[in-house]
Structure 1
Amino acid sequence: MSTIFVVGSLNIDQTIRVRALPRGGETVRGSDAVYGPGGKGGNQAVAAARAGAAVAFTGAVGDDAHGRRILEILSGAGVDCRHIRVVDAVPTGTAVIAVDDEGQNQILVSPGANSSLTTEDMDIAEAREGDILVLQLEIPATLVRRAARSAKSRGLFVVLNAAPAPLQIEELFDDVDLLVVNEQEISLVADLTGIPASDPLDLVRLLPAVLGPAIVYTAGAEGSFTVLGDNLVHVPALTVITKDTTGAGDTFVGYLAASLLADPGDLVTAMKLATRASALAVARSGAMESIPHREEVLQAPDSPSTPPPQGDS
């Protein structure tokens, strides 16, 4: 059976709901903090597993209660955790998240045990041609490049979610087949390549020839876009009542990868499935907890007017 290998971050999310996100120098009173499992890598792995794919994860957590909870959630989702290291005397990574009344967020990340990953961790010996590697940028870019190069040497299809947006792109995309970016990320990547500021849809057309990989651009309520041949393809978003956008992009990436694993040549169908899954995620609170199961995604109406029931984590 083909497998999705995810290499990336694992964090415990500390979420505080506020009326409005704070401006510079402003103190805002919020709700009591709620703790839940997250990290872009962990979220994407759980999304791919809940989409029905076989998933294995490479990462690190601290030897603490947060780390144990994350491992429990990943294992419960069916993720192979044999390559997750438990690091002594270092806390599990932490993300502090503020979510406003519109569901928008601000996130601060402390890497903790994620910083313990090494180049040796990036070589996945059991990966084979036909598998997929999924990467993000919450771990150092040097490790991301090493993982992508190792995967390409074994014939894997490499997906990079360039989030958080990179500060430099030297060799970052050399071994990447598919790049997933949102509006901020695609603009920053264009700046780093020297392409003048432009409409994001123009960048979707221009960047593949410059960077190499195909691009899927996620535009929130506007849906997602890619280019096939000479045609710009648009997959509209579903209309939902947004509760919390945290983890929605990760849900999209995980479902996208799972669909491509099952049908490697059909990017548009993968985008449609990922769009439906991320719509359910934004109608719920939390990151990893908000990720829907495949059955929910397939049964969901095209435009739910009320938040769907939240499944078990």
Structure 2
Amino acid sequence: MDLVARSGVLPQPGETVLGGEFAMIPGGKGANQAIAAARAGAATRLLGAIGSDAFGVTLKARIDAAGVDTALVRVVYGASGVALITVDDAGENTIVVAPGANAAFTDLTEPERAAIADADVLVAQLEIPVETVTAAARAARAAGTRVVLNAAPARSLPADLLDAVDLLVVNETEADAITGERRPEPLLAVVPRAVVTLGPAGAWYVDRDGASAQVPGVRVDTVDSTAAGDAFTGALAVAWAEGREIVDAVGWACAAGAACARTLGASTALPRRAEIDELWSVSRGPGRAS
């Protein structure tokens, strides 16, 4: 659950600032990216855990309403995951995540492994234990399911996880945590394909076949960038699963991230396919179909 406060400026350590609007919005990277993928046009199933608290009830209802299959989502006794978010007038944010039930998602059941094997693409994040992410990625690799890893929050990653990743999605800070550099090329030492997101400036794609493309961002009036990265990752996975050329898929994902940033909130801001298509078409100029 995202607890979001607006503030003119982000507080510095030890500083208290007077805020403005407050909102309580269902979120979480896994849920956000599942909803983003569903709204972008994919049949989507979520594997994860929610708490037995009131937040858990609300979270599941929101995910269900977005058309995501939650049949395998676990309910764990105790608190659901919570994110404490401050958003300033420029749309920038700071986020602290208290994992709650996410920390209890420590293994995979046979039905969960079967769901991974049945998928075209597995999308994973790092708000659950990295051991579980590794197990899921290796199960996907064994079944021929492509693996998209959004390595956020930033942390060091085990080699056996990276060996199972087909496409790594990180921002510049996360890239630096993995390789010590903010550029994408060093990531090719550990994964075959990588995208480094650059905020409003777009994204940079590289792969081991020699491709390198800086994809420009889509200009919008930014209200809140909180879930823009999740919109990007979910849309990228959908476009790649549909067989789009990867650089085109990255551009379409940039449009999804930009569309998301126009609205306050996380899951509430994630765009639908028609909205992504419209923004992507406009950004490419007159006479060019999406």
TM-score normalized by the length of structure 2: 0.91
Q: Which has the higher contact order (CA 8 A, sep 6+)?
A: 1
State the distance in 1 between where 2:13 and 2:186 align.
Answer: 35
In structure 2, relative to structure 1, the CA distance for the partners of 1:103 and 1:150 (3 Å cut) is same
Candidates 213, 218, 230, aligned match of 2:197 = 218
Please say if residues 238 and 302 of structure 1, whose CA atoms lie closer than 8 Å, have aligned partners that are also in contact: no
Task: Name the CA shift for 1:184/1:133 in 2 (closer, same or farther; >3 Å).
Answer: same
Separation in structure 1 between the aligned mates of residue 229 and residue 265 of structure 2, nearest angstrom: 13
- 2:167 alignment partner, one of 178, 183, 186: 178
Tell me the residue number matched to 2:81: 93
* Counterpart residue number, 1:111: 99
What is the number of equivalent residue pairs in this alignment? Answer: 280
1:258 to 214, 227, 238: 238
User: Higher mean Cα deviation, 225-234 or 97-106?
Assistant: 225-234
2:274 aligns with: 295
Question: Are 2:116 and 2:136, in contact at CA under 8 Å, matched by a contact in 1?
Answer: no
Map 1:26-105 → 2, pairs under 5 A: 26-88=15-77, 90-105=78-93
1:33 to partner: Cα distance: 2.7
User: Which of 143, 147, 164 matches 2:132?
Assistant: 143
Partner of 2:108: 120
RMSD over equivalenced CA pairs, Å = 1.7
Q: SS of the counterpart of 1:125?
A: helix
- Residue 189, structure 1, aligned to residue 168, structure 2: no
Unaligned ranges ≥5, structure 1? 1-11, 192-196, 304-313
Residues 47 and 291, structure 1, Cα contact 8 Å, conserved in 2: yes
Q: Is residue 2:257 matched to residue 1:249?
A: no
Q: 2:217 aligns with which of 232, 237, 240?
A: 237
Q: Aligned letter for 1:252?
A: F
Decide which moves more: 106-115 or 124-133. 124-133
- Residue 259 of structure 2 aligns with which residue? 280
Write 1 or 2 for the structure with the bigger share of helix: 2
**Cα distance in structure 2, aligned partners of 1:130 and 1:172:** 18
- Structure 2: stretches of 5+ with no match in the other structure: 284-290
Q: CA deviation at 1:127?
A: 3.4
The percent of aligned pairs where both chains have the same amino acid is: 42
1:115 to partner: Cα distance = 1.5
Superposition misfits of 4+ residues, deviation over 4 angstroms: none
Partner of 2:154: 165
Offset at 1:129? 6.3
Letter in 2 for 1:147: A
